[in-house]
Amino acid sequence: MVQGAKAGTTTRRGKASAAPSTPKPALARGSKSGSNQAPGLTDEERLQAYRDMLLIRRFEEKAGQLYGMGLIGGFCHLYIGQEAVVVGMQMCLQPGDQVITSYRDHGHMLATGMESRGVMAELTGRSGGYSKGKGGSMHMFSREKGFYGGHGIVGAQVSLGIGLAFANMYRDDGSVCLTYYGDGAANQGQVFESYNLAALFKLPVVFIVENNKYGMGTSMDRASASKDRSKDGAPWGIPGEQVDGMDVEAVKEAGLRAVAHCREGNGPYILEMKTYRYRGHSMSDPAKYRTREEVQKMREQHDPIETLRKILLTNGAEEAEIKKVDDEIKAIVADAAEFAQTSPEPDESELWTDILLEAR
């Protein structure tokens, strides 16, 4: 399981952050240290990153199979191809940081350390799932792991993400919120409203555009006048950078810069992750918007897991060591799939629970 949060790396120093020209937030913000983690990956971290990406890959392949067998209902959006993004970013986080994303969320949940069993059983609608089988693919949460969903309305999670960042500022606890969304979502109005508020209040939020080149059925080239998403925050003075999202090491390096910027009280940061999804948008996708050759080329030449495996071997890792990881992951996913098929369906009485949460 991913252990992105590194214990003992947090130091705090109070730092007032509101610029004179901006309305003063309710509380001036303190901040955790920028980061004292090293950029790049050690051999040990590489193996961990390989393991974490492989878990997501194998989990998603299994989810695809269960869907094909009719065991998963509704929508199911696989993350295959994009694994380096969440795994690299998670390595930059500390306890208390938050993650929020769209419906393409299984990888994000696993990266935060949520259990494979609970995620898979939610996909199959079983009581052992994170939402007791009543939420499905797009509705899972774990406050313990800092995961805040899973949102089906394109772009809506971006406004919620700045809400989480506002809470961080208000609580003055130095935490950062990673807010993920797609290249298609990046055209939504509320994303730009969120940029404005985040910059105005200097909110500790990293906006992460997962640019996999396509929305539901159209390429970004055809749908967006903005061609460089890292510059979308320029009118509000939000810095940004483009990152090779197929390279976990590059993701971590950029992620550390972005997270440090936020922790130091400098406000939001945009990372445009250049990534690619191998499967269709959801499980029913005629994929008329791209060629098979394009997908094949990405798989063969830019696969984040295969690339890292080669680096591991070049750096002296033994084939047997890697095989051991492969076997471990296989077992974890087989166990999750077994659990997801044997866990009972929710009892009828559950129809009337978890409907309303009384605010205190």
Near ligand TPP by CB under 6 A, which window of 88-96, 126-134, 180-188, 332-340?
180-188
- Cβ closest to ligand TPP, residue 141 vs residue 289: 289
Q: C-beta of 190: minimal distance to ligand TPP in Å?
A: 9
Near Mg ion by CB under 5 A, which window of 125-133, 211-219, 248-256, 264-272?
211-219
Please identify which residue in 185, 243, 246, 250 interacts with ligand TPP, judged by CB under 6 A.
185
214: contact with ligand TPP by CB under 6 A: yes
Distance, in Å, from the CA atom of 174 to the CA atom of 31, rounded to the nearest integer, reads: 4
Please identify which residue in 183, 232, 253, 272 interacts with ligand TPP, judged by CB under 6 A.
183
- Tell me the HSE value of 101 on the side-chain side, using a 13 A CA sphere: 29
Locate 14 and state its tokens.
């109070």
Q: C-beta of 220: minimal distance to Mg ion in Å?
A: 7
For strands 205-211 and 240-244, give the pairing. Answer: unpaired
- Cβ closest to ligand TPP, residue 133 vs residue 184: 184
Q: Which residues contact 133 (CB under 8 A, 6 or more apart)?
A: 121, 122, 124, 125, 126, 127, 343, 345, 346, 350
Please identify which residue in 4, 146, 149, 182 interacts with Mg ion, judged by CB under 5 A.
182
184: contact with ligand TPP by CB under 6 A: yes
Locate 338 and state its tokens.
């077994």
- Contact present, 257 and 217 (Cβ < 8 Å): no
Which x/- pattern, by CB under 6 A, does the window 272-291 give for ligand TPP? Answer: ---------x----------
Write the DSSP string, 136-179: -TT---BTTTTB-----STTHHHHHHHHHHHHHHHHT----EEE
**Residues in region 281-340 near Mg ion by CB under 5 A:** none
* # residues near Mg ion by CB under 5 A: 4
Which residues are bridge partners to 98 per DSSP?
A: 177
153: contact with ligand TPP by CB under 6 A: yes
First CA to last CA across the chain, in angstroms?
34
* # residues near ligand TPP by CB under 6 A: 13
For strands 177-182 and 269-274, give the pairing. Answer: unpaired
- Contact present, 232 and 240 (Cβ < 8 Å): yes
Residue 263 contact partner, candidates Mg ion, ligand TPP, none, CB within 5 to 8 A by sort of partner: none
> Contact positions toward ligand TPP, by CB under 6 A?
104, 152-154, 182-185, 212, 214-216, 281
- Return residues touching Mg ion (CB under 5 A): 182-184, 212
